[in-house]
Structure formats: structure tokens, C-alpha cells
Amino acid sequence: MLNQKLQLKLSQKLSPQQIQLMKLIQLTTAEFEQKITNEIEENPALEKGSDSIDNDTNEYEGDRDESDVNVDEYLSDEPDNYNLNYYSNEEENNNFQTKESVSFHQFLDNQSKNLILTDSEKPICEFLIGSIDESGYLRREIEDIIDDLAFTQNIVANTNEVLSVLEKIHDLDPPGVGARSLQECLLIQLKKKNNSKQSIINSINLIENEFELFSKKKFSRISEKLNLSQEDLRLVIEEISRLNPKPGGSITSEFSNNTIVPDFILSIEDGNFIVELNKRNSPELRLSNSYKNILEGYKNDPKKTKSQNQAIQFLKQKLDSAKWFIEAIEQRHQTLFQTVNAIVNFQKEYFLTGEEKNLKPMILKDIAEIINMDISTVSRVANSKYIDTPYGIKLLKSYFSEGMKNMEGEEISTIEIKKILQEIVNDENKNKPLSDIELSEKLSEKGYKVARRTVSKYRENLDISVARLRKEL
């Protein structure tokens, strides 16, 4: 009953095109190109070209009477201009040096084709893979994933269904991918090894039951609690040290900056920003001319047989699908263009100078309010899109940060504070690394009053270990 109500609620909120748009927005440029290729292959009513469709189209109604099909709405020949407003005409902007390789997520997606999945599990698997970060972790709560599946993909799933699919993803390479914590990541890798080996058995036992002690390097306590000799413990530590704490890193490292295809290109001329979408290999699309000709023939036939009406219905389904796809692409372009322009204008001082100290505090809500869109939409753009700037290719997400005030009362970005914190750690005496309290004091000396708890949070964000683990002999 609850599922029925939820499905009814979702059907009222999301049209098929809106769902398709959400999916398209999440795609990177490389993934978007592949999506277009797949759509052209799957739908013969869609082809490359610059002719347009009539934008005033209604959604397909499956129970519509066969004789009510209006073929005129598919025979428009207005020029298509949806590409022209956003793309650069400069050929040089299309020539980014890339290796013949796939992205990390494409690498996982390709493997997922070999998993045994039901029809209902396939879209869940696709969504989960898309939610895995570049380190190889799934850092979102299962409840949040279920909600997002419902409201963005129109998929109703429960916790058990999502966890079941996630377990299958854990079978993919590299080992440990899709883990929700370091502990789970290490366990996945260990359980793929030879479980008959005693050191492996001991390692699994340690990670499952005494992970906290291990993370704090309390080896004597571990030895006592697990009844391990010094030699056994040494073998366990060796086994664990061979594991990869960031399984995604082994893949993403192969795709360095020269393999990233930026989604946007920013240039600055006389203090003015010029933002363009990276056109690369994305063609303009149109309805198939051959399909139009067939419809024209049916239109001129005064007596339509039942089989002809059935053919018209088939053509209409394919044409509607093609229309939806073209319109979703246009909306994607508009959404991306509006979002990136809002970000660039918000961070105007930074983009004019390239100095990180000029980055203003900026959260998703700030941009969402400017462009009058939902925060989740801005999040999808920021989390997956790169921009090519005069200062390098960067993820849009990197320009977002919380704000705080320095001792002079000036509002500054937490990005600036993190940069200073990193510099302090880099310059510290590795024989006596600084504690979080000492790091807080150092920041205070430089004019940034930051509490110890906040320092700890920033340190974790920067992937900096605690002082005890940074100590070098």
C-alpha cells in the first residue's frame, strides 16, 4: 500500500523527460558522448543532423486511439539552434589530449555487465556505481540512496534490495570497491584471498573485531586479545599492509589530468568571462528524415489500414522517444550553462587572479538561489563536472566551501584555511609532529582562529593522519 502511494506521488512529480534529464545532468562529457552514441544505435528515429523538431510536443499516450495520431507535428523543418548558444566554434577547444581509456566509473560499469542482475536490480546497480567516489568508496547512507533513487530515478527500492546489489558490486575489480568504510574495504580484500592461510584468517579476525585498536596501532593489546605471538602479529601486519586503502586510486591514477575531458572551457578577455560547453564529439541531433518521409506517406494516404495505423503508432513511439531525448539534451545544456556561469560570477575575484585566497565562501544553496533551481541539481553538476580554466582543469566541487571570519573580521573560505594547514603540516618536524591543539595554535598565530575540533575535521578532509601516525623515526 505504501509503495503504491509513493509510486503515485512520484508519477505526479516527475515526467519521463525530467527523469531522463536528471540522468543526463549527472553524466560527464565522455559519458554523455557515449550516451548519445547508444541512443542513436537503439532508436532509428534519431540521427545526426541539424534539423529541428517541433518543441511544442505532448507526451506519448499509449492508450490513444490509433486514428488520432497527428503526423504534422513530426514534419517540422525548423533549424535546430540548441547547440549554437553554448558551444565554442573554435576548433582548438575540441582537441584535448586523452588516452584511449575509460573512466573509473566506466571501468566499473563495463564489469557490471557480467553480473547476474534482475531487471529491477540493473538501474540500482548503475546508480550505486555512479555514487562511488574516486577513491572507490560509497560514502552515502543507504537511506539517502533509497530516497534519491525514488525521487530522481522513479525507482522504489528497500534496504535489502540495495544492499544485495551492493554485495554484487563488491565482487568487481579493483578489490574493495564500493566499500562504505576503510574497515569494510580491507575485509572485502582479505576475503578474496586464500582463506585457508592462517595469516589471512588472523587478519580477518583482527579487522572484524579489533579494528579500532589496529587503527591506533595498539599492537600489544591486539596480541593479548587475539592471543597472537609476536611473529603471528608481524605476519598479520604484513598481510594488511599489502592491501589497498583506496581501491579507486589504482584506477584513477591511470587517468591523470591529461585524460580528464573538461565539461566547460573558461577564457578571460579584457576582464570578461567567456564560458563555453565543451562540444568535443557531441553531434547535433534531429528526427530521422526517412521516418519523416514514411509519415508523410501515411499522411497522404486517405484510407489507412489497421496495419498502417499500427505502424504509425510504432513510429510515434520512436519519434516521441527521440523528441524527449533531444529536448532533455537542450535542457541539460541550459542547466549546465546557467550553473557554471553562476559559479564563475560568484567567484569572480578568484577567476580574475587565480589566487585561492580570493575564493569566497560558497555553498550549493547560494548557486541554487541564483539560478532558481533545486540544490540537488546544483550538486549533480558540481560533483561530476570539470572546468578548464587559465589555472588548470578543476572539479567544480572544489570551488565550494563553508565560510568563517579571521581575526580581522574578514570572511574567508575554508579552502584558504585548509591550504595553510597543509603547509604547516608539510613544514613540521616529523620526529615531533604537531597535535591538533598545536596545529590550532599555529593557525591562530597566522590570523586564523580555528578550534581544535575544526582542525581535526579539516585534517581528515585533507587526508592527513593524526600526529602519532605522522611520526617518523
- Burial of residue 151 (CB within 10 Å: 0-12, 13-18, 19+) is middle
Beta-carbon contacts of 256 under 8 Å, excluding residues fewer than 6 positions away, are none
State the pLDDT at residue 85. 41
- Tens digit of pLDDT at every position of the chain (473 positions): 445 544 544 444 556 666 677 778 888 777 888 888 888 888 888 877 665 444 433 333 333 343 444 545 544 444 343 333 444 444 444 333 333 445 677 788 888 888 888 888 888 998 888 888 878 888 888 888 888 888 777 888 898 999 999 999 998 888 889 999 889 999 998 888 877 788 888 889 889 888 888 887 788 888 888 888 888 888 888 888 888 888 876 555 444 444 577 888 888 888 888 888 886 656 778 777 777 777 667 666 666 677 777 777 777 788 888 888 888 888 888 889 899 999 999 999 888 888 877 888 888 888 999 999 888 888 888 887 888 888 888 888 888 877 666 666 566 667 778 888 888 888 888 888 888 888 888 888 877 788 888 888 888 878 888 887 777 64
Instruction: For the chain, give every domain's residue range.
Output: 52-98+257-400, 104-250, 403-470
Contact 139, 128 (CB under 8 A): no
Contact 422, 464 (CB under 8 A): yes
Contact 416, 359 (CB under 8 A): yes
pTM confidence score: 0.53
**CATH entry, 403-470, from 2.30.30.180, 1.10.10.60, 3.30.360.10, 1.20.81.30:** 1.10.10.60
Rounded Cα distance, 366 and 446, in Å: 29
CA distances from 256 to 24, 58, 393 (A): 24, 44, 11
Nearest CA-CA partner of 53 in 29, 75, 21 = 75
Rounded Cα distance, 224 and 73, in Å: 79
Rounded Cα distance, 146 and 148, in Å: 5
